[in-house]
Structure 1
């Protein structure tokens, strides 16, 4: 989520005021150019939504703008509506087209999506724009409103609209929709695992982008009076896109700089007697540099520089502290007979997963009881991660059934499984670094995580305060935050996929304390997939061992880790169970570690 730093907002406001003040000291021609810069900034903001925030490459911003302009032209000929009403309708007319263009983004991405959107822009230019805009042949002017009839007045109207859109996007960025866009950009799988529909998130980004671009095109009719299709060609869209990427139009100040550059650099080249085609080349080089560096353009680098000058600020209480002492050794609750409920929270019945001739999972049965922590172990390639993907809806089994409580999950997509109460973490941390810890947990909670619940989760796993920026914490702490986030929506079952990977001994101990307390503290069953045998032995009530997609042992952690089949799976065929000590768990653990 693109959070608005107060100092940056002030700088942006000063920049807008400076441009506005400078414009009123210029001739009508330069004020006209300043209006063009503002409208170009508006279209650059639309690129910032679909690319800068949602991470999708759409090379047709001026196609959406052209639809808004064409609609205003048609309404100007066939109706007597006020200008601002026509502008709003023009922007709205671009929305369904934006959604239609967003449909390919559900299946393709990257270069393929870029080609598809560029082709759409070219087709629209040939079929619609090149045939002329309504009223253009008769030279029928689109009249401006009386309060904006002059060039300075219309410039102020354009500035007001740009400012309103910028404020609206800043508000959206603090809401679920804005966070979902950046979540999709970072990881579609993680977004679905949070319970959000990737489909609706992408289509919403395209709809908002099309509306903003359509608004810019609609206002362009009032600036020019009569339009032609020349300004809405695919190459013009490419120039706007590269300028938006180069300057970082996901940020308001980046879009404003992109609009100024897209307008005044070609004008400067004209004044110098140089070809104006040089400008798109310059924007393309700058965009390539931004893409190669993985930055958010010039605006992103400026914000990073400002943050660096201010220095890293550690939130109160976020400094590293000792792990709070436990009341005693962490022992599985199953050590007390009769404390493990028999009601199943999650059942796996006869599941088979096959990739070609490879059988990843074979006739697997597994039951996770309510109020328990169930460990799932096995060597690499045993099928543990595949099973997690099956349970969470990312892989469809060729046979078998997954039942959450008493609800069969056959055919239920990943985001709906999350809404039903089945949440998961990932082996690779996927916490959005642009959020604070509290914002990330609130996003994960889907409206079910209040401040008290967030504070309880952070306390349970020894995480820094909610106001701490995710980008400022180390990788190990991010893993703890991600585990806490799986509980934010108060699920019935959480699937933790190797949460201790990359953690220090201190962090692993902290994680173990938190996982052990999950069933009693948060009323949630846990399936823990982990290579850390000691963590499984100390946290879990029950354990299951897999090898080659089949269950080879099931029981208490001590029983499973003492099973000769488990030792052979880890140590190789013919290996003997470690002997000579009273703790087979410790023997296998030491063998695996060594």
Structure 2
């Protein structure tokens, strides 16, 4: 078992021992409340997936729980199935509903999505739950399994289900699935650039969230026996959501704290003869405080405070050649085959032509520079090639095959990977998680180590949020290469780097085709770096190609000098 797994399993096992003591020693009433806390924790865990991980505000967890409870109750009364199978089927029944309500998340954001999901929860409560749950009219309760027939036995069943669900989810969160959720939360464009479908990633988060909430509802049907729609009203969803956000249900311990608070606090208010609305108000205040303090809620704060892994940001220079004078461009033999060909590409925004009939050829095994003044259309061309902007005309071919109509994530899977001018690396991930998410197929640990070594990045376990801006850019460039793409589109990778670091980065980029087997299209304002590492250069101005050829020829071209300097007096500075 890996060390990371041990760190998760150990506290869960200790928690099971503790709750076992409660189940054996406590009166039945408190055991019943503890069971309710475990079930609420499971539903809070579902909020941790769709909101805490994937960043989507869904205010209908109790609607999913109600569907799971209704289905489990119906199966229990009409079918002779094992209770655990009935629970599983009840949870699965909530999944397609979760996917259906997740579809608006592909278009809606923030408060609009929150209102849509809250309205959905209200509609389910009116259409489904108001008609009654199976067995409610004739007072036929859900029959528990023999091993969990007693209050204590059902408590152990509920805690066990919570523990298993929490462990499986923790494992998923440490893998590509969880990393994908975190990246789509921070940047949908980065998700697609890594070769992952934004649609699939979001809908998977809703499906898993609905399953967990449905599982909680299935347990609730066995605990209460006879259900009413009052337990699944939108108000109950709001309480669960605010508690989950406040305590940080993105972590298992945060979900447990949310479940305990959602049950124990109302009980305390009841014994003090105080209004139950106070609990919802306190949760709301705590949730606002948690949002103001950053992600993770109370559990995230405790993890940050007591974490033994105090990784500090390291600024490590790329260990390659000496960065004195610019390194001459490598003398690679040009290949007749083209890796990437752009023909007649145009992009129009209203009356403005951002690109006008652009032709570009990136030969296999070469580094091709793309230069031009601000507003020339360089980043727009990168967006068109990578699939984030649809061209009004023109064609794009990769290895002779058209990719013009493909979406961004499909182009990434075909072998077109890119970095961004503004950093879009998810700060919550470790370097290894980010590069593993960008990998294609099985994670190549040797290649990841080689890339991080080549770019002088910190250890793989370092959290990206602790890195300085320049080092984050290097990690992002490394992520474009870990899938062994056919073409790497690097959009100003030297931004944020000092002159010495920029020169060293240029040396590494020059070696990428030979070392990692890919062609490179480099967009960069650092002319010295471009001339040092590129085999060919294309210059743009006002969306048109004004020069293309060898670095020496392009940089001496009068049209290029005028575009950069608007006069011949200072143009000699560009002559290399």
**TM-score, length-scaled by structure 1:** 0.93
- Which deviations, in whole Å up to 9, do the C-alpha atoms of 1:22-69 show, x marking residues without a partner? 343322111111100000000000011111111111110000000000
CA-CA distance at 1:468 after TM superposition: 3.2
Please say if 1:225 is aligned against 2:219: no
Q: Give the 3 Å change call, closer, same or farther, for CA 431–149 of structure 1 in structure 2.
A: same
**Whole-Å separation in 1 of the counterparts to 2:517 and 2:88:** 50
SS in 1 for 2:348: strand
| CA–CA distance in structure 1, aligned partners of residues 414 and 574 of structure 2 | 39
Structure 2 residue 321 is matched with structure 1 residue 331: no
- The equivalent of 1:341 in structure 2 is 335
Within 5 Å, which residues of 2 pair with 1:2-401?
A: 10-307=10-307, 310=308, 312-313=310-311, 320=316, 323-326=319-322, 330-334=327-331, 339-401=333-395
Q: 1:432: Cα distance to partner?
A: 2.6
Structure 1 stretch 397-406 or stretch 15-24: which is displaced more?
A: 15-24
Q: Distance in 1 between matches of 2:120 and 2:114?
A: 10
Q: Establish whether residue 412 from structure 1 lines up as the match of residue 409 from structure 2.
A: no
8 Å Cα contact 1:4/1:170 also seen in 2:
no
- Which residue is 1:589 aligned to? none
Query: What is the aligned-residue RMSD (CA, Å)?
Result: 2.0
Tell me which residue corresponds to 1:544.
Answer: 538
Question: How far did residue 293 of structure 1 move?
Answer: 2.6
Deviations 1:357-402 (A, max 9, x none): 1111111111111111111111111111111110000100111111
Contact 1:326 1:513 in 2 (8 A): no
Question: Counterparts of 1:478-493 in structure 2 under 5 Å?
Answer: 478-493=472-487
CA distance in 2, matches of 1:435, 1:383: 32
Instruction: Assess, with a 3 A threshold, how the Cα gap between structure 1 residues 498 and 320 changes in structure 2: closer, same or farther.
Output: closer
1:576 corresponds to 2:568:
yes
Matched residues in 2 for 1:231 and 1:585: separation?
75
Return the alpha-carbon distance in structure 1 between the equivalents of residues 4 and 272 of structure 2: 38
Aligned to 2:556: 562
Gaps (5+ residues) in structure 2?
none
Distance in 1 of aligned mates of 2:312 and 2:496: 22
* 8 Å CA contact retained: 1:436, 1:468: yes
Partners of 1:207 and 1:312 in 2: how far apart?
Answer: 34
Closer/same/farther in 2, CA of residues 170 and 200 from structure 1, 3 Å limit: same
Q: Displaced runs of 4+ in structure 1, greater than 6 A?
A: none
The normalised TM-score by structure 2 is: 0.95
Q: Does the CA contact (< 8 Å) of 1:537 and 1:585 recur in 2? A: no
Q: Is the 8 A contact 2:61 2:213 kept in 1?
A: yes
Q: CA deviation at 1:76?
A: 2.2
* Secondary structure of residue in 2 paired with 1:333: coil
Aligned partners of 1:330 and 1:516 also within 8 Å: no
CA shift in 2, pair 1:449/1:7, >3 Å: closer
Q: Separation in 1 of the partners of 2:240 and 2:318?
A: 52
CA distance in 2, matches of 1:115, 1:20: 40
Count of aligned positions: 573
Say if 1:434 and 1:471, in contact at 8 Å, map to a contact too: yes
Partner of 2:433: 439
- Cα distance 1:435–1:39, how it changes in 2: closer, same or farther (>3 A)? same
Residue 465 of structure 1 deviates from its aligned partner by 3.1
- The separation in 2 between residues aligned to 1:228 and 1:299, in whole angstroms, is 32
For the residues of structure 2 that align with 1:7 and 1:352, how far apart are their CA atoms? 54
Deviations 1:428-457 (A, max 9, x none): 222233333233222211225412211221
Change (3 A) 1:225 1:448: closer
d(CA) in 2 for partners of 1:4 and 1:524? 34
Give the match's secondary structure for 1:410: coil
Secondary structure class of the residue paired with 1:351: strand
